[in-house]
Amino acid sequence: MSAEDDLSRDAFLDGQIHVFQPKRGYRAGVDPVLLAAATPARSGQTVLELGCGAGVASLCLHARVAGLSLTGIEVQPFYAALAQRNAVENGADMTVCIADLRDLPHDIRARSFDHVIANPPYYERARSTASEDEGRDIALAGETPLSTWVDVAARRLAPKGYLTMIQKADRLPDLLCALEGRLGSVRVRAVQPRVGRVAELVLVQARKSGRAAFALEPPLIMHQGLRHERDGESYAENVLKILRSGADLPWSR
């Protein structure tokens, strides 16, 4: 079996982009699509994705906003190569660097970006069980603390630039602590599976030199109804527009 046999070519945004990713190991789902939708980028701006994996978040953003200059940082060479391949396949202006975010290349450290986006590992290494697949293990429970992700992002942001992250809801206290003193104008949007359910994810936005008060946005409710009652999709209409059409997920201001 060749290396190509170990890959799948998957459609996102109803086929607006196609992405190669491993059939086994870490595979992108809806999370990077939501991250891209929540990023308020405009044509002509620069975007740095920390831990870009196969590049799904950046490429979803590329599909919605033309004329972006994208840079991805990925510590795993296999995923970095996939991200670069996927960028070429989808006609995106994206450069992918193989690097640990704690030791970025000089040319990246010399630049600033209008946006930094990230989907950091969801689980703390000390509180999680290692996956048998190394790529999945690093993606879901890396060694780098959230405070380092935020610090690196803050240093790379241009004045008034935005950081946008998606993270597990139970890591929100850690993330807010990491933002304190580094970035301001913090906004949080809970992502709930259904009405009345506990949020599983949060989208967080912060701004360099931002001075606005903390804001808790209305939650994003992923599915219709109080429970799953039938086979097939039950996404809410606004969520379908994000997942299928590449619509944005605007913040209140």
- For residue 1, pLDDT beyond 90: no
- For residue 223, pLDDT beyond 50: yes
Residue with tokens 């809970």: 190
Of residues 24 and 1, the one with the higher pLDDT is 24
Q: Which two tokens stand for residue 121?
A: 């590992």
3-state secondary structure 69-94: EEEEEECCHHHHHHHHHHHHHCCCCE
Share of the chain above pLDDT 70, in %: 88
- Note the pLDDT of residue 140: 44
pTM over 0.75: yes
Instruction: Tell me if 67 sits within 8 A of 42, measured CB to CB.
Output: no
In this prediction, residues 12-33 reach a mean pLDDT of: 95
pLDDT tens digits for range 90-115:
999 999 999 999 999 999 999 999 99
pLDDT band, very low/low/confident/very high, at 249 (cuts 50, 70, 90)? very high
Which 8-state DSSP code applies to residue 65? Answer: S
**Superfamily, domain 3-245:** Vaccinia Virus protein VP39 (3.40.50.150)
- Note the pLDDT of residue 142: 63
- Note the pLDDT of residue 143: 75
- For residue 212, pLDDT beyond 60: yes
- Note the pLDDT of residue 139: 45
User: Residues, the chain, total?
Assistant: 253
Of residues 9 and 132, the one with the higher pLDDT is 9
∠ CA 87-55-153, rounded to 5°: 120
- The residues pairing with 230 across neighbouring beta strands, listed in sequence order, are none
- For residue 250, pLDDT beyond 80: yes
pLDDT tens digits for range 127-181:
444 445 454 444 444 678 999 999 999 999 999 999 999 999 999 999 999 999 9
- Note the pLDDT of residue 37: 98
CA atoms within 13 A on the CB side of 210: 23
Computed over every residue of the chain, the mean pLDDT equals 91
In this prediction, residues 53-73 reach a mean pLDDT of: 98
- For residue 2, pLDDT beyond 50: no
Amino acid at 248: D
